[in-house]
Amino acid sequence: MKEILEEHWHHLPETELFEFLKTSPEKGLDSFEVAHRLEQFGPNRITQKKGTSPLVLFLLQFHQPLVYILLAAALITSFLREWVDAGVIFGVVIVNAVIGFIQEAKAVKAIEALSRSLTSAATVVRSGERRQVPAAELVPGDIVLLQSGDKVPADLRLISTRELQIDESTLTGESVPVHKQSGVLTHDTLLADRSNMAYSSTLVTYGVATGTVIATGNQTEIGRINELIASADVLATPLTRKIARFSGLLLYVILGLAAVTFVVGVLRGESWLDMFMAVVALAVGAIPEGLPAAVTITLAIGVSKMAKRNAIIRKLPAVETLGSTTVICSDKTGTLTQNQMTVQEIHAGGELYLVSGSGYEPEGAFSRNGEQVSPEQCQALRECLLAGLLCNDAVLVRADGEWKVEGDPTEAALVVSAGKSGLEREVMTQKLPRRDAIPFESQYQYMATLHGDGERNVVYLKGAIESLLPRCSQALSASGETIRLDVDQCHRRAEEMAGKGLRVLAFARLEPTGGVRQLRHDDVSTGLTFLGLQGMIDPPRDEAIAAVRICQAAGIRVKMITGDHAITAAAIARQIGLNGGGDGAAQPPALNGGELAHLSDAELIVAAERTAVFARVAPEQKLRLVEALQASGQVVAMTGDGVNDAPALRQANIGVAMGITGTEVSKEAADMVLTDDNFSSIEAAVEEGRGVFDNLVKFITWTLPTNLGEGLVILAAVFAGVQLPILPVQILWINMTTAVLLGLMLAFEPKEPGIMQRPPLDPAKPLLTAELGLRIAIVGVLLLAGSFGLFEWQLSAGSSLGKARTCAVNVFVFGELFYLFNCRSLRHSLFSIGMFSNRWLLWGVGLMIILQFLFTYLPAMNMAFHSQPIGLGEWGVIIAASLIIYIVIEVEKWIRRRTKPGTP
């Protein structure tokens, strides 16, 4: 069918459209037809554009300065007919490329798999029922409902719309949202002007609509141009770029040094060949070639650890930034609280009613002044409950003996409270069918529905008290008469409820005169009758209370930014233990969105720092708050779920979206998505972020001394005019084996104790502090002294050159091996973090020792690497030298722990 109609969907009259697609807007498709079409058209998924081919990725591994140097060395050695050396160098280059390729491909795959795990859902009508299905299961003919915040899941022809606006920038590049409406367009309307179509992967920024699927997967417009983000080949973050720049700079320094060494050597009468080999050894030894790969791998491991703790990273740089987070701005409902609402109190007709029962079970009773009452006795109460039931889109379903909510829990609580009074939705919607609705949008803070037969109508409204009360001109009494509205009393009652931490919703009604068929905001701006208030509890999450405490101990301030009432928000904040200043400072009062609007930018900077609770905040104000906090140097993580939260999420250092309740728009804008919507997962991600950063620093502190030591050994030998203690192929051996078997294992190092008792990382602080620089220098010099000393001692004792060099190589390998245990913690001693807490590292060490024995004793290895067997006495000295390194560094750590706690 696609072939005939490819260009004509926008032009078809609706009856023909439905006939053609064999569907109907009321019933949609049935499950049998869906299964059949799914087989015919395949899943609604766009095949990802192929990224760089594996062959190119493999060849790119050779595109590194160090590899060029090695290849030149291999070529020159083959010219000199040093076949063994040339073979070893070639072999090392290839093995290095294979390892790099496999590791990189694995990291890319892991991150890609995670981003795919964030599946999106679509609301459809199938067999006459509304339900949520994975977007991948949509088929042509499906009836899809759209609302603001949704990502359009397939190409749709719109059947009905209400103030629909869609951001089509993914398709057309035009960032201003376009208005859409149903209807028939002329045949020659261009794609960008087809206002009766909604295209896959564009974003609904406002309004609601219904449409029927006309194309899925690769048949959609976006699928055909296939411009979706190609697979993420490049794993770049600010840190990896910084390290790449550092490596580049180091390369020039080393090449300069190599040139000087070469000239000095030749001038002193050394042979060109010897000097060439010395220079190659210097370059190979001093360039930290394993560094970029280790950074990428450590970040990738961090990403998968975070995913296990329910935080999916969408943008890799977030892994680094998490460790430096100083402020977390969190929503209240659902993130800090359970989002399991139960109506407990109702104020109607001037009386207060208590509602018993808990959860979504519609079992409970109403009481007034301690006596049970029937809702029939109070007209205002009944109308208030009815308004809650009809002005409502949530559905409660009973599955496996448990009541589950489809839709907004706030609304579900209202279905339950109405159910406790005997009001049933099926019965009431038959009596008062819904004609139109203004959906809830957080900027208006109310929802309205129009019911009736077109002649005799009633409008029900529910929303925030500040939004509803000014529209009301009278109230409903217990006996059902309209009476004077006591605004002050209503506010007092609402504040009493809010003071107990209840979320308060106000209800009102309007009986419009004349036939109304459509509702507009203007229609409900005045003349409403106030019906009452319903107050519902939403208890704090226990994990959130614990996580807030951990954050505060870690020097991270937690702020609540909510659309809810200031008094409710403050009461919940008290229960959760939020305090603005972090160090037990008294909790400042909540700041209201209205007050916030009057603050100048400078005043807001001060207020943003000091206040812990921001209530009735409009989404645009979230952006101002993030900017104010950033202006005072904070690194801000901000949560958001709505369509209007996207700018704040983008501005925040870490935008956090909600995986369950969040809109697709907010997820697209976020750096991180929480799969459980829980505040404690942000805290977990921060903890992992700090761990990742620690492990990176550990790797760098471990790897650089080898490079420094090897470089120094070669320089010292050339300048002293003696034989090289280590040959280029031997340096290659050391760097290759230790980086993979020892250094990389630090990426698996568990988080250190007390990681959340330290202040956040200062992003301006260099990766390597002066203290760590000193440590690297000490180890580098000790390695130089150990290997050079042992080499000269062996020669003077009459050992062969091969044996002396084998001793020098072993000093490096075992020195690095012992030093690896120092590096497992930058501050604590090995005993306090546990000898066996990193099993990967122990395996690596075991394997390294075996390889080193092979290097020393296996004849084939002796031939390839010019090594020779050594005796027990030599081993004794090698181990003693390595042990000295270990002890010196532990003493240095101990001194630093005592003199400067809290560093590095």
Positions marked catalytic: 331
Determine which residue in the list 171, 328, 396, 464 makes contact with ligand ATP, applying CB under 6 A.
Answer: 464
Q: Which stretch binds ligand ATP (CB under 6 A): 72-80, 251-259, 437-445, 744-752?
A: 437-445
Q: Which of 142, 221, 408, 694 binds ligand ATP (CB under 6 A)?
A: 408
Alpha-carbon gap, residue 708 to 696, rounded angstroms: 18
Q: Residue 727 and residue 714: Cα distance in Å, rounded?
A: 9
Closest to ligand ATP by CB, 563 or 815: 563
Residue with Cβ nearer ligand ATP (565 or 775): 565
Between 408 and 687, CB nearer to ligand ATP: 408
Binding window for ligand ATP (CB under 6 A); candidates: 30-38, 403-411, 486-494, 894-902: 403-411
Q: Least distance in Å: CB of 467 to ligand ATP? A: 7
**Alpha carbon distances (Å) from 679 to 340, 551, 591, 611, 639:** 15, 11, 21, 19, 9
∠ CA 415-419-521, rounded to 5°: 35
Fill in the DSSP letter of residue 480.
S
Q: Is 410 a residue that touches ligand ATP (CB under 6 A)? A: yes
Strands (E) across 222-264 are located at none
| From 463, 662, 743, 786, residue interacting with ligand ATP (rule: CB under 6 A) | 463
Cis peptide before 728 (omega within 30 of 0): no
The rounded distance, in Å, linking the Cα atoms of 102 and 793 is: 42
Residue 80: Cβ within 10 Å count: 13
- Location of structure tokens 């390889």: 851
Q: Which residues, in sequence order, are CB contacts of 899 under 8 Å at separation 6+?
A: none
- Rounded Cα distance between 485 and 483, Å, is 6
Which residue's CB is nearer to ligand ATP, number 331 or number 671? 331
Binder of ligand ATP out of 440, 699, 702, 818 (CB under 6 A): 440
Stretch that binds ligand ATP, among 176-184, 423-431, 441-449, 737-745 (CB under 6 A): 441-449
- How does DSSP assign 826-841, residue by residue? SSS-HHHH-TTS-HHH
470-509 binders of ligand ATP (CB under 6 A): 503, 505
Closest to ligand ATP by CB, 211 vs 655, is 655
Selected from 37, 126, 462, 509, the binder of ligand ATP by CB under 6 A is 462
Q: Which residues are within 8 A (CB) of 305 and not within 5 positions of it... i.e. 6 or more apart?
A: 688, 691, 692
Q: Can residue 677 be called a binding residue for ligand ATP (CB under 6 A)?
A: no
Query: Cα separation of 529 and 485, whole Å?
Result: 9
Asked if residue 411 binds ligand ATP (CB under 6 A), the reply is yes
Residue 902 makes CB contacts below 8 A (sequence gap 6+) with: 758, 759
Q: Which residues pair with 204 in a beta bridge?
A: 166
| Distance between CA atoms of residues 564 and 371, nearest Å | 31
Give the x/- contact pattern for ligand ATP in 581-620, rule: CB under 6 A: ----------------------------------------
Q: Which residues pair with 540 in a beta bridge?
A: 337
**AA identity, residue 568:** T
Binding of residue 666 to ligand ATP (CB under 6 A): no
Task: Give the nearest residue (CB) to ligand ATP.
Answer: 563
- The token duo for 365 is 């009773």
* Contact status: 575 vs ligand ATP (CB under 6 A): no
> Considering the complex, what minimum distance in angstroms separates the CB of residue 657 from ligand ATP?
12
The candidate with the shortest Cα–Cα distance to 848, out of 744, 750, 702, is 744
Among 103, 181, 304, 442, binds ligand ATP (CB under 6 A): 442
Least Å distance between CB 751 and ligand ATP? 30
Segment interacting with ligand ATP, rule: CB under 6 A, options 6-14, 325-333, 811-819, 849-857:
325-333
- Residue number with CB closer to ligand ATP (137 or 641): 641
What is the DSSP track for 396-421?
A: EEEETTEEEEES-HHHHHHHHHHHHT
Compare residues 112 and 523 and give the one whose CB is closer to ligand ATP. Answer: 523
Cα torsion 437, 443, 446, 448 to 10°: value is: -10
Q: Is 604 exposed, middle or buried (0-12, 13-18, 19+ CB in 10 A)?
A: buried
Query: Residue 565 or 690: which CB sits closer to ligand ATP?
Result: 565
Report phi then psi at 87, rounded to 5: -60, -45
Nearer to ligand ATP among residue 623 and residue 732 (C-beta): 623
Query: CB-side exposure of 876: number of CA atoms within 13 Å?
Result: 3
Judge whether 814 and 808 are in contact, CB under 8 Å: no
Contact segment (CB under 6 A) with ligand ATP among 480-488, 563-571, 744-752, 789-797 equals 563-571
Is the CA virtual torsion 494, 500, 505, 508 positive or negative? Answer: negative
Residue closer to ligand ATP (CB basis): 18 or 446: 446
**Nearer of residues 170 and 661 to ligand ATP, judged by Cβ:** 661
Asked if 174 contacts 192 with a C-beta cutoff of 8 angstroms, the reply is yes
Q: Does 563 bind ligand ATP (CB under 6 A)?
A: yes
Q: Which of 446, 530, 733, 819 binds ligand ATP (CB under 6 A)?
A: 446
The rounded distance, in Å, linking the Cα atoms of 708 and 704 is 6
State in angstroms the smallest separation of the CB of 622 from ligand ATP.
Answer: 9
- Shortest distance, position 331 Cβ to ligand ATP, whole Å: 4
| Shortest Å, Cβ 617 to ligand ATP | 7
What type of residue sits at position 545? I
For ligand ATP (CB under 6 A), the number of binding residues is 20
Q: Please choose, out of 101-109, 405-413, 476-484, 769-777, the segment that lies near ligand ATP by the rule CB under 6 A.
A: 405-413
Residue 893 in the binding site for ligand ATP (CB under 6 A): no
The region of 204-212, 457-465, 682-690, 766-774 touching ligand ATP under the rule CB under 6 A is: 457-465
Distance between CA 176 and CA 262 in Å, rounded?
A: 63
In whole angstroms, the minimum distance from the beta carbon of 462 to ligand ATP comes to 5
The contact pattern for ligand ATP, residues 326-365, with x = CB under 6 A and - = no contact, is -----xxx--------------------------------
Residue 645 CB, nearest distance to ligand ATP (Å)? 9
Interacting residues toward ligand ATP by CB under 6 A: 331-333, 408, 410-411, 440, 442, 445-447, 462-464, 503, 505, 562-565
